[in-house]
A and B are shown apart, each in its own frame.
Chain A
Amino acid sequence: MKVFLKELFFELRKNRGSMIGVVIIILSVIVAVLAPLLAPHDPTHIYTDSLNLPPSFVAGGSSRFFFGTDDLGRDLLSRLIYGSQVSLSVGFAVVVLSLVIGTFLGVIAGFYGGLIDKTIMRITDLIMSLPSILFAIVIVAVLGPGISNAIVAVSIVAIPNFVRIIRAQVMVEKSRQYVAAAKLFGAGNFRLMFIEILPNCMAPLIVQATLGFSDGILNCAALGFLGLGAQAPMSEWGTMLSDARSYIESSPWMVTLPGLCILIVVLSFNLLGDGLRDALDPRLKKQS
C-alpha cells in the first residue's frame, strides 16, 4: 500500500493540472477548517445599516466588507468562507455514503454473481436510467427539503457508479491465483471479498471517489439553488445563488462570487480525478 501511494504520488507530480487541483483542494480545506478565524464577520449577523453593499474595491464599497454585503446586510466574504465548510463536508459525506454502500453492493454482486448480482444490477440500472438531478429532486420531494436529505438523495444517485466499477473489477480479480490460494488456506467468503480482493480494486475506486466529490458538491449546490437543499440562514453556495437571483441587476457580485467558488472547487476535484485516472490506468500510460 505504501509503495502504491508513493508511486501514485510520483506519477501525479508529473501532471501539472492535478497538482493545481491538489493545491486548490488543500487551500479550500484550510479555509474551511479555519473559517472561524478567517471570517471577518459572523456569517449570519445582519448589519441593517449596510444592505447590498458592493465589494470594497468597487465604487461605493466599504472597507469593512471586502466582498460587500447581501440583501439582508450579511458580510459576503464571511458567508463564502463558511460556505466552503458546508460544500466540502457535503462532498465528503456524499462520497463516504455512496462509496461504502456502493462498494459493499458491488463486491457482493461481483463475487457471488447469479441472482444476487442480477437483482443488484437491475436496481443500479434503474437508478442510472433516471436523470440524476431529477431522481435526487424526487427523493428530496419525498423526504422534505434540507441539507441532510439533499446529501442522502445525492448519495443514492451516486451509488450506481461505485457498484458498477467495483463489480467489474471484482469479477476480474476473483479468478486470480491469489484468491484460489487464499481459499485453499481456508479463507471464508467474507475474508476473500473484503480482505483479499477489495484492496486490489483500489485504483478505480480512488478515481471514482475523487470525481464523486465534484459530482456531490455540484448536485447538492444545484438542489440548494432549486430551494431543496440547505435552508436559510445556512451559508451554502447554491442557496446563496438562488437568493441572489432577484438582485442580479442591482448587485451582480452576489451572483458572481458563490458560483465562482462552486466552479473552482468542483474544477479542482475534476483536475485531480483526471490526473489520478491517467496515473492509475496502465492502458493510458502506455499510450503517452
Chain B
Amino acid sequence: MKYIAKKLLDLIPTLFGISLVCFFLIRLIPGDPVLNLIGERGADPARYLEMKKALGLDLPITQQFWIYLKSIFRGDIGTSIISNNSVWNEFIERFPATLELGMVALLGATIIGIPLGIFAAMKRNSFFDYFLMSTSLVGYSMPIFWWGLILILFFSVKLGLTPVSGRIDFTYDIPVMSGLYLIDTLRPEILKAEGFAPFISALRHLILPSIALGTIPLAVIARMTRSSMLEVLGEDYIRTARAKGMSKTRTIYIHALRNALVPIITTLALLFGSIITGAILTETIFSWPGIGKWIVSSITARDYPVIQGGVLIISFVIVLTNIIVDIIYFLLNPKMRN
C-alpha cells in the first residue's frame, strides 16, 4: 500500500513538470505570439494591446502559469488555430486509430517474439539461435520510416496485395462506436448490411503499418525473452525440478517461463513509449489518421495550441500507463512486497 501511495505521490511532480514544459514550449517560440495570431500587417497598437489582454499575455509569467494549470484541471487544454476545435476533442477523435494500430503491433510482436525467444534460449548457440539473434539486431536497428516504405514498395506497389494508406476503403461508411475499426466493423448491423467486407478491408489496411510498427518491439521482445530465459534456466530450482524427474517441457513451461516472464512484462511496458514514437513515423508514412500524424501535421501548420495540448495529453497517457504497470507489477511480484 505504502509503495502504491509513494508511486502516486511521485506522479505529482512529474505531471507538474510536464505542464511546465508545455507551458514554456509555446512561450519559447521565436516571435511574438500575438503577432503570429493577428498577422504582422494588420497590427495597429490598440488592437495589439487588446489581443494581448484577451490572451492573458499581459499578466506576470507566474500568474499566466497558474491560469494555465487551472485550465488543465478544468479539462481545457486549448483550441486549434486551424480548425477551431478543442484540442481535447481532436485528440479523442484520433486516439482510437493509434490505439488500434499500437495494440495490434504490440500484440503481434508479443505472440511471435516470446516463442522465438524461448526457442532460441533452449537451442542456445545453435544455428537457429545465431540466426534469430542477428536478425533481431537488424530489426532493432531498423529505421522504421524506411522499413514502412519498403513494405509499401514490395507488398503494395510490386504485388498489389495491400492498400497504401488510410484505415479502410472510403466506400464503407462505418459509424464510430469504439473507434477501433476491427471491432466496429463486426457489429451486427454492419455485418447484415455489408457482410465481412468492411472488416477485411480494415484488416488489410492495418497489416503493413502494424508490421512496420511492430518490428522493433518484436526484436526487443525476442532478445529479452531469450536472455531472461537463459538467466532463469541457470537457476538452482530448475536443476532441482529436473532432478526430481520432472520432464523438460514441464520444467520449461511451468517453472522457467513463469519466472522469466517478469522482466518481459516490464519490457512490454517500457515499449509503450517507443510505440508512440514509432506511431509518429508509421502514421506519417501510411497516412494513418492517428495522433502521430496529427502532431506532425500540427507542427508543419505551426498550430501551437495543438502541439502544446497534444504533447501534454500524450505524455500524461504515457506516465499514467507506466504507473499502472508499476502497480500491477508490484501486485504480481511477491518479492517486491517486502
Residues of A within 8 A of B (CB): 17, 122-123, 125-126, 129-134, 137-138, 141-142, 144, 214, 218, 221-222, 225-228, 238, 241, 245, 248-249, 252, 255-256, 258-260, 262-263, 266-267, 270-271, 274, 287
Give the chain A neighbours of B211 by CB distance below 8 A: none
Q: How far is the CA of A142 from the CA of B280 in the complex (A)?
A: 18
User: Does A255 contact B153, Cβ atoms closer than 8 Å?
Assistant: yes
- Restricting to B257-280, which residues have a CB under 8 Å from any CB of A? 273-274, 276-277, 280
**Extra inter-chain contacts (18) besides given A122-B13, A221-B145, A252-B153, CB under 8 Å:** A17-B134, A123-B17, A129-B18, A129-B318, A129-B319, A130-B318, A131-B274, A133-B277, A138-B25, A141-B307, A248-B157, A255-B146, A255-B150, A255-B153, A258-B146, A263-B138, A267-B137, A270-B137
Q: How far is the CA of A158 from the CA of B285 in the complex (A)?
A: 25
Residue of A nearest to B278 (CB): A133
Give the chain B neighbours of A17 by CB distance below 8 A: 134, 137
User: Does A241 contact B149, Cβ atoms closer than 8 Å?
Assistant: yes
Q: Is B115 an interface residue (CB 8 A)?
A: no
A-B contact count (CB 8 A): 124
User: Does A263 contact B141, Cβ atoms closer than 8 Å?
Assistant: yes
Q: How far is the CA of A245 from the CA of B287 in the complex (A)?
A: 12
Q: Is B8 an interface residue (CB 8 A)?
A: no
Give the chain B neighbours of A214 by CB distance below 8 A: 141
Encoded as 1 (CB less than 8 Å from any A CB) or 0, chain B from 147 to 163 comes to 10110110001000000
Q: Is B188 an interface residue (CB 8 A)?
A: no
Contact of B21 among A126, A227, A228, A241 (CB under 8 A): A126
User: Does A137 contact B299, Cβ atoms closer than 8 Å?
Assistant: yes
Give the chain A neighbours of B273 by CB distance below 8 A: 129-132
Q: Is the interface of B mostly helix, strand, loop or mixed?
A: helix
Contact of A271 among B28, B137, B277 (CB under 8 A): B137
Give the chain B neighbours of A123 by CB distance below 8 A: 17
Give the chain A neighbours of B311 by CB distance below 8 A: 130, 134, 138
Give the chain A neighbours of B142 by CB distance below 8 A: 263
User: Does B157 contact A259, Cβ atoms closer than 8 Å?
Assistant: no
Give the chain A neighbours of B18 by CB distance below 8 A: 126, 129-130
Q: Is B243 an interface residue (CB 8 A)?
A: no
Q: Is the interface of A mostly helix, strand, loop or mixed?
A: helix
User: Does B314 contact A131, Cβ atoms closer than 8 Å?
Assistant: yes
Residue of A nearest to B291 (CB): A134
Contact of A133 among B146, B149, B281 (CB under 8 A): B281
Most B CB within 10 A of own CB, among A17, A126, A263: A126
Task: Supply 15 A–B pairs (Cβ within 8 Å), ascending by A.
Answer: A17-B134, A129-B319, A130-B311, A131-B277, A134-B280, A137-B296, A138-B307, A141-B307, A225-B143, A238-B145, A241-B149, A248-B153, A255-B146, A274-B137, A287-B230
User: Does A267 contact B141, Cβ atoms closer than 8 Å?
Assistant: yes
Q: Which 10 A-B pairs have the closest CB atoms?
A: A259-B146, A267-B141, A131-B277, A133-B277, A266-B141, A126-B17, A131-B276, A225-B145, A262-B143, A131-B273
User: Does A255 contact B141, Cβ atoms closer than 8 Å?
Assistant: no
Closest Cβ of chain B to A232, distance in Å, is 16
User: Does A129 contact B322, Cβ atoms closer than 8 Å?
Assistant: yes
Contact of B150 among A238, A256, A266 (CB under 8 A): A256
Give the chain A neighbours of B274 by CB distance below 8 A: 131-132
Contact of B143 among A221, A245, A252, A274 (CB under 8 A): A221
- Restricting to B1-19, which residues have a CB under 8 Å from any CB of A? 13-14, 17-18
Residue of A nearest to B315 (CB): A130
Q: Is B193 an interface residue (CB 8 A)?
A: no
Q: How far is the CA of A218 from the CA of B141 in the complex (A)?
A: 8
- Restricting to B281-338, which residues have a CB under 8 Å from any CB of A? 281, 284-285, 295-296, 299-300, 307, 311, 314-315, 318-319, 322
Q: Is B60 an interface residue (CB 8 A)?
A: no
Q: Is B45 an interface residue (CB 8 A)?
A: no
Q: Contacts A131-B276, A256-B153, A262-B143 given; indicate if A225 touches B234 (C-beta within 8 A).
A: no
Closest Cβ of chain B to A259, distance in Å, is 3
User: Does B143 contact A259, Cβ atoms closer than 8 Å?
Assistant: yes
Give the chain A neighbours of B315 by CB distance below 8 A: 129-130, 134
Most A CB within 10 A of own CB, among B142, B145, B311, B315: B145
Give the chain A neighbours of B28 by CB distance below 8 A: 142
Q: How far is the CA of A144 from the CA of B28 in the complex (A)?
A: 11
Q: Is B54 an interface residue (CB 8 A)?
A: no
Q: Contacts A137-B299, A142-B25, A259-B150 given; indicate if A132 touches B277 (C-beta within 8 A).
A: yes
Q: How far is the CA of A221 from the CA of B311 in the complex (A)?
A: 21
Give the chain B neighbours of A134 by CB distance below 8 A: 276-277, 280, 295, 311, 314-315
Q: How far is the CA of A138 from the CA of B312 in the complex (A)?
A: 11
